[in-house]
């Protein structure tokens, strides 16, 4: 039951009942309905224009997705940087290291070969971003394979470097006796006059004049394979195997300072000048043999001679004179 409201009438000095006209009632009802409609429409618009309210779990998941996107972008950037570094290493490997050590370069077909056979990325298919994930995974897999190949290549280059070091230590590179003024070289390699027959004969080494007992030096690292006088014409002589096909021979010695099987280093004293065997005077006959063939020893004094000294010795050695053996 609606409450009855009264008001005080000053004219009649009495309370009178408040009468609301029907028109006023209708206006009030219409105003209420209009206000309700406006409020409802406004609220609906607010709901439609405002993002859906998320639960704490959804908010956390959304944050993780954003972090994943950021990390993925950084991963893409790092992969690109690693690919650039790998490309630079491959260029250095093929164009510098392998050239220096005379080794064939690794082809791009080998370095950048893919993965055949089964589908390695089947478990990554079926997602909205599968193409991107598969593409990046492939790049990482190829990069990993390139790293393995490059690592093996560097192992090979390291071995080549060690072999090169051994080769350099094996190649004869000094004169077999001290010859500071270049006055001891008596006869060179090639056609010479035989001191006994006086006929033209091929001289397989170089002759160095020196007093009996002058020290003779190993011209490179190696192992003594002979130290005897059982070779025709050489008298007491020494042969050293340096490896890589190089052998040096020292003939007409007066005395040995090494024995067969002994390891020697470049510069070690191995014997002393003499006049044994088929020799006309005290001197050292020195030969350099490569793969069983005697070659000109003058090309193996790089550790002793300056360019000017080499030219001077080459000029003297080219004179077709009489040898001492």
Q: Is the pLDDT score of 240 beyond 60? A: yes
How far are the Cα atoms of 62, 120, 127, 283, 290 from residue 75, in angstroms, in the given order? 20, 21, 19, 74, 57
Domain definitions of the chain by residue range? 6-49, 72-170, 185-317
Give the pLDDT confidence score for residue 224 in this predicted structure: 97
**Secondary structure of residue 57 in the 3-state scheme:** helix
Residue 51 confidence (pLDDT): 61
Report pLDDT for 209: 94
Query: pTM for the full model?
Result: 0.58
Confidence of residue 4 (pLDDT cuts 50, 70, 90): low
**Helices then strands, each counted (H, E), the chain:** 6, 15
Residue 30: its pLDDT value, please? 67
Q: Could you identify the residue written with the tokens 């991107």?
A: 132
Task: Tell me what the mean pLDDT of segment 298-305 comes to.
Answer: 86
Query: 15: pLDDT confidence band, cut at 50, 70 and 90?
Result: low
Check pLDDT > 60 for residue 274: yes
Average pLDDT of 122-146? 76
More confident residue, 163 or 126: 163
DSSP 95: I
User: Above 70 in pLDDT, residue 255?
Assistant: yes
Distance between CA atoms of residues 131 and 232, nearest Å: 81
Per-residue pLDDT at 73: 78
The closest of 244, 242, 231 to 291, measured between CA atoms, is 244
> Cα Rg for the chain, rounded, in angstroms?
50
pLDDT at 283: 95
Residue 229 pLDDT: 94
User: Comparing 120 with 105, which gets the higher pLDDT?
Assistant: 105
Determine the Cα–Cα distance for residues 234 and 277; give it in Å rounded to an integer. 5
Question: Which is nearest to 241 in space by CA: 266, 224, 265?
Answer: 224
The CATH architecture to which 185-317 belongs is Distorted Sandwich (2.70)
What is the helix (H) or strand (E) element at residue 134, kind and residue range?
Answer: helix 130-170
Least confident of 40-54, 124-138, 225-239, 266-280: 40-54
Extract the tokens encoding 212. 């009996």
φ/ψ of residue 269, rounded to 5: -80, 120
- Cβ atoms of 276 and 229 closer than 8 Å: yes
Predicted local distance difference test score (pLDDT) of residue 43: 58
197 DSSP assignment = T
The pair of three-digit structure tokens given for residue 97, joined into one six-digit string: 């290291």
Beta-ladder partners of 247: 241, 289
Q: What is the mean pLDDT of the chain?
A: 82
């Amino acid at each position: 039951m609606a409450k009855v409201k009264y008001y005080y009438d000053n004219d009649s000095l009495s309370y009178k009942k408040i009468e609301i006209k029907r028109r006023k009632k209708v206006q009030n009802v219409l105003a209420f309905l209009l206000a309700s409609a406006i409020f409802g429409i406004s609220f609906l618009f607010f709901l439609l224009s405002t993002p859906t309210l998320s639960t704490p779990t959804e908010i956390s998941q959304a944050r993780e997705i954003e972090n994943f996107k950021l990390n993925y972008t950084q991963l893409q950037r790092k992969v690109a940087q690693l690919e650039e570094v790998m490309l630079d290493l491959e260029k250095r490997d093929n164009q510098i290291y392998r050239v220096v050590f005379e080794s064939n370069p690794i082809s791009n077909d080998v370095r950048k070969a893919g993965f055949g056979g089964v589908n390695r990325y089947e478990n990554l298919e079926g997602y909205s971003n599968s193409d991107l994930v598969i593409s990046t995974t492939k790049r990482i897999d190829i990069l990993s394979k390139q790293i393995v190949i490059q690592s093996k290549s560097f192992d090979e280059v390291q071995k080549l470097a060690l072999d090169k070091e051994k080769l350099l230590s094996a190649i004869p590179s000094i004169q077999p006796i001290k010859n500071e003024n270049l006055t001891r070289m008596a006869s060179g390699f090639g056609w010479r006059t035989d001191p006994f027959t006086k006929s033209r004969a091929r001289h397989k080494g170089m002759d160095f004049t020196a007093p009996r007992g002058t020290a003779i030096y190993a011209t490179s690292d190696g192992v003594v394979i002979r130290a005897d006088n059982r070779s025709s014409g050489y008298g007491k002589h020494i042969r050293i195997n340096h490896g890589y096909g190089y052998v040096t021979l020292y003939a007409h010695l007066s005395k040995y300072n090494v024995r067969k099987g002994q390891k020697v280093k470049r510069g070690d004293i191995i014997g002393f000048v003499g006049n044994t065997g088929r020799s006309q005077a005290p001197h050292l006959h020195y030969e350099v043999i490569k793969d069983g063939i005697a070659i000109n020893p003058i090309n193996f004094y790089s550790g002793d001679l300056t360019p000017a000294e080499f030219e001077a010795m080459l000029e003297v050695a080219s004179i077709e004179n009489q040898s001492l053996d």
